[in-house]
A and B are shown apart, each in its own frame.
Chain A
Amino acid sequence: MVFLEFEKPLEKLYDQLEKLRQVGEESDIDVTDKIKVIEDKIKARSKEIFSNLNGWQKVQLSRHPNRPYTLHYLTNMCKKFVELHGDRNYSDDKAIVGGIGKINGDPIVFIGHQKGINTKMRQYRNFGMANPEGYRKALRLMKMAERFGYPVVCLIDTPGAYPGIEAEERGQAEAIARNLFEMAQLKVPILCYVIGEGASGGALGIGLGDKVFMLENTWYSVISPESCSSILWRSWDHKEEAAEVLKLTADNMLEFGLIDDIVKEPLGGAHVDHAKMVKILKSHIKKQIEELSTLSPDELIEHRLEKYGKMGAFTVKKTSS
């Protein structure tokens, strides 16, 4: 396991736990009590650390290399999940995946950014940075969901849409804009979850829905703290400050009314207990779909318009200038 700077106090405890378990497996010594003691210690320490994280620490957690990614959720939440490929026009983007699966017997179309689990795979997945065909594959799948009346669930985890020559040639901006326009009027429920990084238009391109949620240790912003630092401070060194001023945590977003709720992660973060995280997300999705399925297509679209129409902070002066 990888330990972030502020997780370091836990490293020793996890080491001890691992050793104890080995001893337990390899010999007849009963280590149950001792394991319990260490586990309690981990719990107490984690509570301490995780109750007081700043913006930058949340950003680091959202990028934790042991964090579960989209395909992990999909293959573990659904008894059966079939991945579907390609935008039917140009190619199959590797940074956005999608497919069909069932939760509780009901078909759902899933779409999500996908990051790689090792260096080779990270490159293969283009670090979760999609090209236009990724957004167009997403739209193709949403349209299919609409045809059959299946809800759409989007899992967001991207450092941004890919800024490359080919991406511009094939219309990165058009692809994202088109998705926003179509998602605004899709006739089936759309649920969006930020499961890791929620950077800018690349995140929003699959992020417009009836309900938008953020996992506890994720962020959502118009720009990454690094790029913000480089533009406003003209240096990469102010990323921690940028993470603070951008007010990008799930708590901030909920307070601003820009998301609907926060999905709690297991103590210590999603990366310490994948199974539990999958279970939490699965039951959350199930409950949300049940609630949204009572609404007619017209009601869904009307509510979406109302929801996004309200977003913004401005003052209206009494007398026109």
Chain B
Amino acid sequence: MGWFNRLKDGITTKTKSKREAPDGLWHKCKGKGCGKTNTLKELEENYYKCPHCDYHTRIGSYDYFDLLFDGKYEIMFDNIQSKDILGFEDLKTYEDRLKSAYAKTDLPDAISVASGKINKKPIVIAAMDFTFIGGSMGSVVGEKISRAIDAAIKIKSPFMIISKSGGARMMESAFSLMQMAKTSTKLAQLSRKKLPYFSFMTDPTTGGVTASYAMLGDINFAEPKALIGFAGPRVIKETIKRDLPEGFQTSEFLLDHGFLDFIVNRADLKDKIGDLLDLFSSSNK
């Protein structure tokens, strides 16, 4: 018998939609200088943001889908899975890494694609999961984005990617590198069809993901205080051998330097995207 009684009977949210949500009843905020403890319920009701400091806790692809879509959405291309074509082995084999990622996350790879409506307007969204091998981009991520773009072209809807990634997946070597070329080529095709692409960056977005689809949005926007950059802060620090300035490579830094259109609080995200969808469609049709 547990010490606590359930407030509501049964699990009301699907486990799938809770993947990256913190475990347990209590959650300690990871926000800089905060560290306050909240109940999970408080956190969940506040869009997984800290009620004290507004720190945006990392969440998963399904959390975003649940947050954004009007009710139901259709998950697409979940049957595409990674393959160890190189026979890659460092301290662990790539196959073992994949197996433990499947077990840990219950996800098919580091990206999920869904099609549905936001404020009654159709959109295709591809969202990344950091919990799956650091949200790394391998062949599956490239292929799913590619097919998601085809799906958007087919229904003539805007397309959005929610990035959350450490970069390319090393275990696929040049295959993962070429996904930068593949996704950019595909986005060029979308652009030639005159369909808008919204790139939404969340903590963290770095490496080959930033240097391809994340930076190519017609609109680039991000969650507050997300780490966004090309090279990781540690690599830069080791290269230049001095400390990095305060706030370096944050969303606010990128906005200031002209690489983002705006920063959006998770509480306003659905409305903001709804606005974009409305503004990028003619009312006289």
Contact with A along B200-229 (1 / 0, CB 8 A): 000000011011111110000000000001
Interface hits, B126-157 → A, CB 8 Å: 139-140, 142-143, 146
Interface hits, A220-248 → B, CB 8 Å: 220-223, 227-228, 231-233, 238, 241-242, 245-248
Contact between B259 and A171 (Cβ–Cβ < 8 Å)? yes
Residue of A nearest to B179 (CB): A312
Tell me if A32 counts as interface (CB < 8 A to partner B): no
Select B78's contact among A176, A246, A312, A320, beta carbons within 8 Å.
Answer: A320
Select A164's contact among B89, B90, B189, B236, beta carbons within 8 Å.
Answer: B236
Contact between A163 and B177 (Cβ–Cβ < 8 Å)? no
Tell me if B178 counts as interface (CB < 8 A to partner A): yes
Contact between A167 and B230 (Cβ–Cβ < 8 Å)? yes
> CA of A76 to CA of B196 in the docked complex: distance in angstroms?
46
Tell me if B119 counts as interface (CB < 8 A to partner A): no
Tell me if A161 counts as interface (CB < 8 A to partner B): yes
Contact partners of B192 in chain A: CB under 8 A: 185
Contact partners of A314 in chain B: CB under 8 A: 80-83, 139-140, 143
Q: With A222-B173, A233-B90, A312-B179 as known contacts, state yes or no: A164 contacts B108, CB within 8 Å.
A: no
Contact partners of A204 in chain B: CB under 8 A: 177-178, 180-181
Contact between A165 and B236 (Cβ–Cβ < 8 Å)? yes
Contact between A208 and B181 (Cβ–Cβ < 8 Å)? yes
Nearest CB in chain A: distance from B138 CB, A: 8
Contact between B184 and A180 (Cβ–Cβ < 8 Å)? yes
Residue of A nearest to B240 (CB): A164
Residue of A nearest to B232 (CB): A163
Interface hits, B72-87 → A, CB 8 Å: 78-83, 85-87
Tell me if B257 counts as interface (CB < 8 A to partner A): yes
Select B175's contact among A180, A245, A312, beta carbons within 8 Å.
Answer: A312
Tell me if A308 counts as interface (CB < 8 A to partner B): yes
Tell me if A33 counts as interface (CB < 8 A to partner B): no
Contact with B along A292-321 (1 / 0, CB 8 A): 000000000000110011011111111111
Tell me if A201 counts as interface (CB < 8 A to partner B): yes
Tell me if B249 counts as interface (CB < 8 A to partner A): yes
Tell me if B280 counts as interface (CB < 8 A to partner A): no
Interface hits, A163-197 → B, CB 8 Å: 163-165, 167-174, 176-178, 180-182, 184-185
Contact partners of B188 in chain A: CB under 8 A: 181-182, 184-185, 305
> CA of A113 to CA of B87 in the docked complex: distance in angstroms?
31
Interface hits, A248-298 → B, CB 8 Å: 248, 252-253, 256, 258
> CA of A182 to CA of B212 in the docked complex: distance in angstroms?
12
Contact between A174 and B259 (Cβ–Cβ < 8 Å)? yes
Tell me if A46 counts as interface (CB < 8 A to partner B): no
Interface hits, A18-63 → B, CB 8 Å: none
Nearest CB in chain B: distance from A308 CB, A: 4
> CA of A201 to CA of B182 in the docked complex: distance in angstroms?
13
Contact partners of B185 in chain A: CB under 8 A: 180, 184, 208, 304-305, 308-309
Interface hits, B47-98 → A, CB 8 Å: 78-83, 85-91
Contact between A208 and B184 (Cβ–Cβ < 8 Å)? yes
> CA of A320 to CA of B108 in the docked complex: distance in angstroms?
10
Contact between B79 and A320 (Cβ–Cβ < 8 Å)? yes
Tell me if A200 counts as interface (CB < 8 A to partner B): yes
Contact between A173 and B173 (Cβ–Cβ < 8 Å)? no
Contact partners of B208 in chain A: CB under 8 A: 200-201, 222
> CA of A308 to CA of B188 in the docked complex: distance in angstroms?
12
Q: With A177-B213, A177-B215, A317-B81 as known contacts, state yes or no: A253 contacts B174, CB within 8 Å.
A: yes
> CA of A205 to CA of B89 in the docked complex: distance in angstroms?
28
User: Considering the complex of A and B, which 8 residue pairs feature the smallest CB-CB distances, nearest first?
Assistant: A163-B231, A312-B139, A180-B184, A232-B90, A173-B210, A173-B230, A313-B85, A177-B215
Which A residues form the contact surface with B (CB < 8 A)?
A: 161-165, 167-174, 176-178, 180-182, 184-185, 200-201, 204-205, 207-208, 220-223, 227-228, 231-233, 238, 241-242, 245-248, 252-253, 256, 258, 304-305, 308-309, 311-321
27 pairs, CB–CB < 8 Å, chain A vs chain B:
A163-B231, A164-B231, A164-B240, A168-B248, A171-B257, A176-B230, A177-B211, A180-B180, A180-B181, A181-B187, A182-B188, A185-B188, A222-B177, A227-B235, A245-B89, A245-B90, A246-B174, A247-B173, A258-B178, A308-B181, A311-B178, A312-B142, A312-B182, A313-B175, A314-B140, A315-B83, A316-B79
